[in-house]
Amino acid sequence: MKPSKPVILTGVRANNNIHIGNYFGAILPIINMAKRRSDEYDINLFIPDLHSFTTPIDHSKLYDSVLNNARVYAAAGLSLDNPSIHLYRQSYIPAHSELTWILDCFTGFGRMSIMTQFKDKSRKFLDSKITKGEMSDEQRIWDTIDRSISVGLFNYPVLMAADILLYGATYVPVGDDQTQHLEFTRDIAERMNRKFGDLFIVPKPVIQQHQFFGKDQGLRIKDLVNPAKKMSKSDESGKGVIFLSDDPKSAHKKIMSATTDSIGKVQYDKENQPGISNLLEILTLVRQDAGREVTLEQTVNEYFGMDRYGDFKRIVADEVAGFLENFHNRLAAVDERAIEEKLASSEKDMNVVANETLYRVQKAVGLRK
C-alpha cells in the first residue's frame, strides 16, 4: 500500500498541558494547513508519544495526555472523516522503533553529539536541577552521564528521521529548533540510498520547506511574566502561561497580572514594549478564533495611544476568558467514539505503509530475504 498522494507529516508532542502558545502557534496552523492541502496531499498528523518522555514526565498521565491531544485537534476543527487526513499514535506503529534501531547503526555518535537541541535541552534540565538545589556544580558532569540526560534525548533525531522516512514524507513543517533534525533526516536517507539503493524518499531541504509552508507560521505568544521568552510548558510556576485547561477566571487573573512597562501608552513595539505587544497579539488571535476577520494591524490601531494599561488588560482578559469558555464547550462536545474510530482506522492504514518501508529496509540490510 503506497500513499495515493505526496505526504505532509507533522505532529505536536503529547505530554504536559497544552497552552495557548501551542494552540495558536502550532495546532491551528496544522489544522488550517490540513484543510488547505488535503486535496493534493496525504496529511499524516501523528501524536509523537514516544518522543514524550525523552525528558522526565509523569508517566501516569501520558496515556490520557495522548488522547487529549486528539480531542484538542478535533475541538480546534480537525475533520475526522477526511480520508486524506491520518491521525495516529506513534507507538501504535511498531515500525517506528525498529527503523530507529536500524538507522542508529548507521549514525555516528559525533553527529548526534553536536545537535543544538540536545545541548540546549540538556543544559536547561541541568540548570533547573542546580537552581532547585537538587545537585551541585561538582555533580554536573557525572549526573549528565549517569542519570540526568537520557539516551532517548540524545537519540531523538534518529527517531524523528524514522517518523518521516517510513511514510515517504516530502514536506515536514519545522521550526528553527528542528532544522538540524530535518537536515540529518535528509543526510541519513541519502547515505542509505547510496549504500543500498532507493530505500527512502528524501524530504525537501529546509529552504523549500519554508517556501512551501511559509517561513513565518504566525504570531508567537510570549510568557506573560517574562515577555522576552516564549510561552513554555516547562514554566513550573504557570504564572506566565495560559493553559487550555485553565479556568477562565484563572486566565483572567494571569492577564491582569501580566508584565507591561512604564511608558504608559499602548503601542506595538516588541523591543521596548514586549509585554503590551504580546497582549495585542493575544487579543488578535482570540478574536480570529472567534471568527472575526481582524488583523494585528487593526487591533493595534484600535487601541493605539490608550494610556490606562489596566483598562486595556481587562479587555484582553475578558476576551481570553471568553475564548477559553468557548473552547471548553467545544472540547466537551467532541465525539469520543469518533476519535477512537479515527485513531484505529489511521493506525491500521499507517501500519501497512510503515511495514512496507520497514520490510524494504530489512531486506536491504540482510534481516529478511
Catalytic site residues?
A: 121, 230, 233
Contact 10, 173 (CB under 8 A): yes
Dist CA 280 CA 247 (whole Å): 21
DSSP 3-state of 81:
coil
Query: What's the rounded Cα separation, in Å, for the pair 149 and 313?
Result: 41
How far the first Cα of the chain sits from its last, in Å, is: 20
User: Is the CB of residue 129 less than 8 Å from the CB of residue 143?
Assistant: yes
The residues facing 45 across adjacent strands are: 10, 87
Which ranges of the chain does DSSP label H, i.e. alpha helix? 20-22, 28-37, 62-75, 95-104, 109-113, 116-131, 140-143, 151-165, 179-196, 206-213, 248-256, 274-289, 296-303, 309-332, 336-365
Q: Is 276 helix (H, G, I), strand (E, B) or coil?
A: helix
Q: If 0-12 CB within 10 Å is exposed, 13-18 middle and 19+ buried, where does residue 250 land?
A: middle
Closest residue by Cα to residue 242 from 228, 220, 261, 222: 222
Q: Is the dihedral of CA 59, 179, 237, 222 positive or negative?
A: negative
Radius of gyration of the chain (CA): 22
Judging by beta carbons within 10 Å of its beta carbon (0-12, 13-18, 19+), is residue 179 exposed, middle or buried?
A: middle
